[in-house]
Structure formats: structure tokens, C-alpha cells
């Protein structure tokens, strides 16, 4: 199914009946990332599974979106589906959206599971997002090319893409690269105290994309949170130990 908000087409699907649960995938993923979860929850729940704009079957944003626009389009979809409050399961980038929803409309989330949730910036890396923006503005500026020359500016661009930018950045379209820079520059730590929903944090012990310290920080600053560690797992811990993950999720959402 398709939902349109401010001219942007977003694909979503629903399955099952009962209390709603919203699935939010990570950067580079899609609703396909959640198919096992959708299948296993749809027997008792109304599962809402979407493709964020720029991923899967959804259109790319028509501008250089930040987290605000992703939050707004998800809230608009919930309004369209007449879902006042929902349980939520989010991975990585999807967790960023969940934190933004909690900060703006905390009553929309009843309970949530955040796995490998992104959104925090290490203090020693804090300038990184700003540096990406500053450097990218430099190589996008025609004056820079006149002063530094094409070769130097192109070399700077290649450096950003190969050293500062992750694989997520390098694999993205030009539009989504700009969106990615906006996304990673937003420190969402200010959202943590706004989270009112009981929150289960599931983390891979060896996660390098969203290191374990992020989960521990979220557990400390979210008022009702618990952290479950999946030993030996990485950023996709929920798939690496799927049986364990879905058993924990079902128990948590039923309580």
C-alpha cells in the first residue's frame, strides 16, 4: 500500500489484527528486514511495516531531509491509520525515529524495543558530523574550486567519501548522501529523558556501528529501560539470534 504525505510516496503494509505494533527498519534496509518479525507477530497483532522514504519501495525525499521529516511522516502515517498509541520495534536508524517520536509525542508509543539504536554521538567524535557538513560545503562551493583547483577539491571529496563516509554513505544516491549527512550530524541524546514508554534495549556485544556504550547510556537516561546483551553478536543481533530475540519481544510486549 502507498501513503502520501506532502507529496512524498511511502510504501507500507499491514498484516494481522489486534493491538498495533510498528516496525522501523535501519538505514539501508527496508520492510523486508522485518519479515520474520512481521510473520511471527501477525498472529495476534496488527503489524505495520514500512519503507522509509529513500528505501525499499518508497520514493526518495524531494529535499535534503533531516530526522524531523522522517519523524513527521511516520506520525502522519499513524494518523492516517487512526493509531493513537502503538508498540514499536526499531533497529538502528529506525531507533532514531523512535526517539524523535518520544520527544515530540511520547503518548504515541506504549512499549518499545530498540535494537542497535542509533542517535548518540561520542564526545570525542562530536565534531565529526559538523566536519562532514563543513568539508562537504567546501567541495560543493564554486569558490573553493577557483581557489584550490579542481584536483584538490575532487581529492577532498574522495577523502570524505572513503574515510569519513561509511559504506552507507558510499552506497547511497546523491540525494540520500545529503540526507545521511544530516542524519548522522543530529545528536538525539536530548530525546532520552522524554521517553516515557517502557523500553527494552537489545544490543550486540560486538556491535561496531552502534557500540555497546550507546545502549548503556540509553539504559541509564531512559526512565524505564532495561538492556539485554546478545553475546558474540554485532549490529544485526536481532537476526543473528532471532529465536531468542522474538521470544524476548513477545514476552515484553505481552506484559
Kindly tell me if the per-residue pLDDT of 2 is higher than 60. Answer: yes
Q: Report how far residue 66's alpha carbon sits from residue 178's, in angstroms, rounded to the nearest whole number.
A: 9
Q: Which residues pair with 124 in a beta bridge?
A: none
Q: Report how far residue 36's alpha carbon sits from residue 10's, in angstroms, rounded to the nearest whole number.
A: 21
What is residue 146's predicted lDDT score, i.e. its pLDDT?
Answer: 61
Asked whether the beta carbons of 48 and 86 are under 8 A apart, the reply is yes
Place of cell 510498528: 22
Per DSSP, helices labelled H in the chain are: 35-41, 67-80, 93-104, 127-140, 142-148, 150-159, 167-170, 174-185, 212-221, 237-240, 242-254
**40-48: average pLDDT:** 97
C-alpha cell at position 229: 546483551
What is residue 88's predicted lDDT score, i.e. its pLDDT?
Answer: 98
Domain ranges of the chain: 2-120+187-254, 125-182
Kindly tell me if the per-residue pLDDT of 156 is higher than 60. Answer: no
What is residue 154's predicted lDDT score, i.e. its pLDDT?
Answer: 59
Over residues 183-233, the pLDDT tens digits come to 999 999 999 999 999 999 999 999 999 999 999 999 999 999 999 999 999
| 150-159 helix and 127-140 helix, angle to the nearest 10 degrees | 150
Q: Report how far residue 247's alpha carbon sits from residue 255's, in angstroms, rounded to the nearest whole number.
A: 13
What is residue 130's predicted lDDT score, i.e. its pLDDT?
Answer: 43
What is residue 133's predicted lDDT score, i.e. its pLDDT?
Answer: 46
Kindly tell me if the per-residue pLDDT of 63 is higher than 60. Answer: yes
What is residue 169's predicted lDDT score, i.e. its pLDDT?
Answer: 74
Cα-atom radius of gyration of the chain, to the nearest Å? 19
Confidence of residue 160 (pLDDT cuts 50, 70, 90): very low
Domain range 2-120+187-254, CATH class? alpha beta
Kindly tell me if the per-residue pLDDT of 127 is higher than 90. Answer: no
Order of strands across the sheet with 199-204? 2-5, 8-15, 46-50, 20-24, 86-91, 109-115, 199-204, 225-230
Q: Which residues in 59-90 are b (16+ Cβ under 10 Å) and which e? A: ebbeeebbbebbbbbbbbbbeebebeebbbbb
To which H or E segment does residue 201 belong? strand 199-204
Least confident of 67-71, 130-134, 250-254: 130-134
The DSSP call for residue 3 is: E
Higher pLDDT, 9 or 155: 9
Q: Report how far residue 158's alpha carbon sits from residue 68's, in angstroms, rounded to the nearest whole number.
A: 29
Kindly tell me if the per-residue pLDDT of 135 is higher than 90. Answer: no
DSSP 108-126: GEEEEEEES------GGGT
Amino acid at each position: 500500500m502507498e501513503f502520501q504525505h506532502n507529496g512524498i510516496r511511502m510504501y507500507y503494509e499491514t498484516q494481522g489484527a489486534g493491538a498495533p505494533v510498528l516496525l522501523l527498519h535501519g538505514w539501508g534496509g527496508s520492510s523486508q528486514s522485518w519479515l520474520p518479525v512481521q510473520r511471527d507477530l501477525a498472529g495476534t497483532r496488527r503489524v505495520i511495516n514500512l519503507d522509509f522514504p529513500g528505501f525499499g519501495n518508497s520514493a526518495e525525499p524531494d529535499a535534503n531531509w533531516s530526522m524531523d521529516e522522517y519523524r513527521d511522516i511516520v506520525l502522519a502515517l499513524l494518523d492516517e491509520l487512526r493509531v493513537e498509541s502503538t508498540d514499536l520495534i526499531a533497529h538502528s536508524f529506525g531507533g532514531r525515529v523512535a526517539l524523535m517520536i518520544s520527544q515530540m509525542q511520547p503518548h504515541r508509543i506504549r512499549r518499545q524495543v530498540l535494537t542497535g539504536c542509533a542517535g548518540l554521538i561520542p564526545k570525542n567524535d562530536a565534531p565529526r558530523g559538523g566536519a562532514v557538513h563543513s568539508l562537504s560545503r567546501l567541495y560543493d562551493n564554486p569558490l573553493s574550486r577557483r581557489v584550490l583547483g579542481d584536483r584538490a577539491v575532487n581529492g577532498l571529496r574522495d577523502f570524505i567519501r572513503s574515510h569519513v563516509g561509511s559504506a552507507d554513505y558510499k552506497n547511497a544516491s546523491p540525494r540520500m548522501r545529503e540526507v545521511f549527512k544530516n542524519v548522522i550530524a543530529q545528536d538525539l541524546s536530548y530525546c532520552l529523558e522524554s521517553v516515557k514508554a517502557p523500553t527494552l534495549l537489545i544490543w550486540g556485544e560486538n556491535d561496531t556501528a552502534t557500540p555497546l556504550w550507546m545502549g548503556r547510556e540509553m539504559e541509564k537516561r531512559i526512565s524505564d529501560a532495561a538492556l539485554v546483551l546478545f553475546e558474540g553478536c554485532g549490529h544485526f543481533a536481532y537476526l543473528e539470534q532471532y529465536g531468542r530475540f522474538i521470544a524476548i519481544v513477545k514476552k515484553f510486549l505481552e506484559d
